Amino acid sequence: MRKVVSRDGTTIAYEKAGEGPPIVLLNGSFRDHTIFDALVPELAPHCTTYVYDRRGRGQSGDAPEYAVEREIEDLEAVIQEAGGEAVVFAGSSGANLAIEAALAGAPITKLALHEPFFRTEDFPKPVWNFAKTLRVLLTEDRRDEAVEHFLGGFLGFTPDTIAEWRKGPIWAMNEANAHTLAYDTLICGDYTVPADRLATYETETLVLNSNSTSAWLKAAARATTAALPNGRGLELPGSWHRIDMDVLGRTLAEFATA
């Protein structure tokens, strides 16, 4: 992977592929750049893609103390590698991070978001001590329990669903990146759509959700779209928290090149 040094000296690893206008792909909880392995071939004929490992994951470095501002600087460093400005596509807690970066003035030409992790008033937020319990589990290196705590307490998974995930091929990555769940929890703040702040953001923004995702994620996507003066929402075919890859690739390519 290629490397770029973020403002605080942390090395961020990224890969570049394709040809055309630049688009930076920003992953969410648990994952590293490999989450986009199937999406990059869909975009590469139309765009120059930049996928990177967020700090603390994969081949990227980390720092002793975490701050959301440092992750914003990481994204800006990758955008600088892309020529100084770029379209950004981000999903899950990565969408929350991209929103914070956009509102902080990152050079984003267009913004595409997939199911940001907000809760509208119709859906309960994680319990008040969710983040504290997560930090305790991670401090004690109880990674397996931290993953279960996040899946159940934040995403609302049932014990049966967690048991099925445990059997899957990505559980090892879940545990390996468990320490970054504390980062994503901080990024999500109080889990509320920052409507007043989004009302000031004029850049064209596309907010996507799957037609088969959770009701709270659909509601979050709608509320985010409604708060944006230049926002457009699309519901696309897919499964839970995932859009069919060919549809997603085509939608993002059209958005990035229009």
Strands (DSSP E) contained in the chain are: 2-5, 11-18, 22-26, 48-52, 86-91, 108-114, 205-210, 231-236, 238-239, 242-243
pLDDT tens per residue, range 112-158: 999 999 999 999 999 999 999 999 999 999 999 999 999 999 999 99
φ and ψ at 243, to 5 degrees?
A: -100, 140
pLDDT tens per residue, range 60-117: 999 999 999 999 999 999 999 999 999 999 999 999 999 999 999 999 999 999 999 9
Judge whether 246 and 42 are in contact, CB under 8 Å: yes
Mean pLDDT of the chain: 97
pLDDT tens per residue, range 29-72: 999 999 999 999 999 999 999 999 999 999 999 999 999 999 99
Q: Which pLDDT value is given to residue 221?
A: 98
- Which residue is associated with the tokens 């990227």? 60
User: How are beta strands 11-18 and 22-26 bridged, if at all?
Assistant: unpaired
